[in-house]
């Protein structure tokens, strides 16, 4: 059902290589032309991700512009990740998973109360991690800058009759998605701590992030 | 106007309108000619950082379309508005809005200089201009709903398809405000509308006083998630 495309980059030559533990945020700049890979280390882990123009945070990833421009709700190889101004922030150049979600959004303590039970308020959630990341980063980023995100490795099918479901993942240990930055971007990942639905197979696990220079 | 009706107006083709909707009132939007599209965004009037959230609305109700019984969630787990009446059956929450470059590419250039108030408007700029009147800006723009429009998604491939003719003359949708809500509407065409002509449609707006949601309200009972959403919204007003 999904087409997968492997990368030609050599893992040993990446200039940046880090592990993002489950439930933690990661914030980092990626320069125009660099390649950015996110690896689902143990399988079925949602990597909630936001992108901004690193020179002007008012320009940011737009989920609706991205799916509308390609007239398809799933993100995979060839998808241009579009900004609110209609520019490509990054392009997906390799994808061994085959399908990523951008409609399901990020979990929050508030939405967890609605979705599961009001007693779930205390549970850790992606928007807590996003807020921690931007508070730490500073430089003017605020809650209002947290728009609709990408859920890499997450499977959220929509049916012809307008239903939306969270399905067990199409990802597996070692699967990855790789992007080329089309401008200098700021990336924020919340490695999702959700324990209430199958987006993480009820067991949040680490993801690995790697960056290559264009000459590598 | 019946005695509960507080307001009515015509929203012209391509025009934008904003209003502070009070909890306890309902806004009815009626398609006059058929094939209308009404882009809409919503904010908590008392805290603009709380705003309509597409993803929370979709995943709480397991939907990729809006109709009667559905509610519009904020990013704070509360219900901004409920869809209490709907004769259309499908409103599009996923496709976003037109922008200046897309409108120029699709319909050509039509400036105010030559065309006066028939100049070509686009939804994104219209939303951002209206947001600015409240001290808000592009950073506050959230994913809009397109009322009266239908976009279906192919089960297997995920491809999106605009379905023409979704709304007929006289069809309407009614939104009951569950909080004090800043609502911004515009009638620019849907960004996936295949009509090659610049042809936005007018809609009729009316506001009336309505009772709060009862224990048996269809939106509250739509599913358990909405029951918790109403509880959290009612707690906000304690």
pLDDT in tens, A119-158: 999 999 999 999 999 999 999 999 999 999 999 999 999 9
Examine the pLDDT at B19 and tell me if it is beyond 70.
Answer: yes
Position A197 confidence tier, pLDDT thresholds 50, 70, 90: confident
Position B4 confidence tier, pLDDT thresholds 50, 70, 90: confident
Residue in chain B closest to A159 (alpha carbons) equals B155
Model ipTM?
0.97
Q: E strands within A41-170?
A: 47-53, 56-60, 80-82, 88-95, 150-152
Q: Among residues of chain B, what percentage have pLDDT more than 90? A: 98
Task: Report the pLDDT value the prediction gives residue B125, as an integer from 0 to 100.
Answer: 98
The pLDDT tens digits for B201-225 are 999 999 999 999 999 999 999 999 9
Nearby residues of B175 by Cβ (< 8 Å), 6 or more positions away = B21, B26, B27, B28, B29, B72, B81, B82, B83, B84, B183
Position A216 confidence tier, pLDDT thresholds 50, 70, 90: low
Write the DSSP string, B107-128: H----HHHHGGGS---HHHHHH
Average pLDDT rounded to a whole number, residues B150-179 = 97
Any CB–CB contact under 8 A between B77 and chain A?
A: yes
Nearby residues of A3 by Cβ (< 8 Å), 6 or more positions away = A76, A77, A98
Average pLDDT rounded to a whole number, residues B160-166 = 98
- Structural contact between residues B40 and B18, judged by C-beta atoms closer than 8 angstroms: no
- Structural contact between residues A96 and A6, judged by C-beta atoms closer than 8 angstroms: yes
Q: Which residues pair with A138 in a beta bridge?
A: none
Examine the pLDDT at B188 and tell me if it is beyond 60.
Answer: yes
* B231 min Cα distance to partner chain A (Å): 9
Domain ranges of chain A: 15-212
* Residue among A71, A200, A6 nearest B162 (CA): A71
Paired tokens of B128: 């951002």
* B7 min Cα distance to partner chain A (Å): 32
Nearest to A105 among B48, B56, B191 (CB): B56
The pLDDT tens digits for A19-66 are 999 999 999 999 999 999 999 999 999 999 999 999 999 999 999 999
Q: Which residues pair with B52 in a beta bridge?
A: B74
Nearest to A164 among B64, B75, B228 (CB): B64
Average pLDDT rounded to a whole number, residues B164-190 = 98
Cα separation, A111 vs A159, whole angstroms: 23
- Structural contact between residues B62 and B213, judged by C-beta atoms closer than 8 angstroms: no
**pLDDT: is B160 or A166 the higher one?**
B160
């Amino acid at each position: 059902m999904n087409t997968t495309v492997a990368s030609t980059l050599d893992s040993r030559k990446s200039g940046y290589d880090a592990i993002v533990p489950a439930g933690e945020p990661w914030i980092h700049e990626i320069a125009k032309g660099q390649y950015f890979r996110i690896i689902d280390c143990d399988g079925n882990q949602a990597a909630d991700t936001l992108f901004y123009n690193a020179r002007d945070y008012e320009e940011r990833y737009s989920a609706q512009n991205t799916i509308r421009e390609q007239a398809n709700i799933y993100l995979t190889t060839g998808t241009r990740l579009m900004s609110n101004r209609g520019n490509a922030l990054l392009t997906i150049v390799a994808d061994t998973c085959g399908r990523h979600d951008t409609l399901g959004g990020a979990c929050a303590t508030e939405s967890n109360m609605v979705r599961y039970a009001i007693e779930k308020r205390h549970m850790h959630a992606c928007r807590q991690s996003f807020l921690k990341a931007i508070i730490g980063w500073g430089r003017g980023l605020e809650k209002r800058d947290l728009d609709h995100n990408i859920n890499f490795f997450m499977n959220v099918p929509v049916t012809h009759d307008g239903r939306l479901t969270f399905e067990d993942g199409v990802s597996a240990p070692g699967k990855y998605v790789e992007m080329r930055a089309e401008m200098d971007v700021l990336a924020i990942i919340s490695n999702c701590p959700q324990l209430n639905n199958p987006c993480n197979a009820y067991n949040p696990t680490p993801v690995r992030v790697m960056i290559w220079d264009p000459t590598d | 106007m019946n005695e509960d009706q507080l307001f009515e107006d015509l929203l012209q083709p391509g025009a934008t309108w904003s209003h502070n909707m009070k909890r306890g009132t309902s806004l009815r939007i009626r398609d006059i000619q058929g094939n209308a599209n009404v882009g809409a965004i919503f904010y908590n009037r008392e805290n603009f950082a709380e705003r309509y959230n597409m993803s929370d609305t979709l995943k709480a109700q397991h939907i990729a379309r809006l109709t009667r019984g559905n509610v519009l969630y904020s990013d704070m787990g509360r219900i901004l508005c409920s869809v209490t009446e709907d004769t259309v059956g499908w409103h599009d929450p996923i496709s976003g809005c037109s922008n200046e470059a897309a409108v120029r590419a699709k319909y050509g250039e039509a400036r105010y200089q030559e065309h006066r108030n028939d100049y070509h408007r686009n939804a994104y700029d219209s939303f951002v201009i209206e947001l600015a009147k409240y001290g808000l800006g592009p950073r506050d723009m959230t994913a809009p709903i397109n009322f009266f429009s239908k976009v279906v998604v192919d089960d297997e491939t995920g491809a999106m398809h605009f379905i023409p003719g979704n709304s007929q003359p006289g069809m309407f949708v009614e939104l009951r405000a569950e909080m004090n809500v800043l609502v911004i509407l515009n009638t620019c065409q849907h960004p996936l509308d295949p009509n090659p002509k610049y042809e936005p449609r007018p809609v009729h707006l009316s506001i009336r006083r309505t009772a709060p949601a009862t224990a048996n309200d269809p939106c509250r009972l739509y599913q358990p998630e909405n029951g918790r959403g109403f509880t959290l919204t009612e707690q906000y007003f304690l």
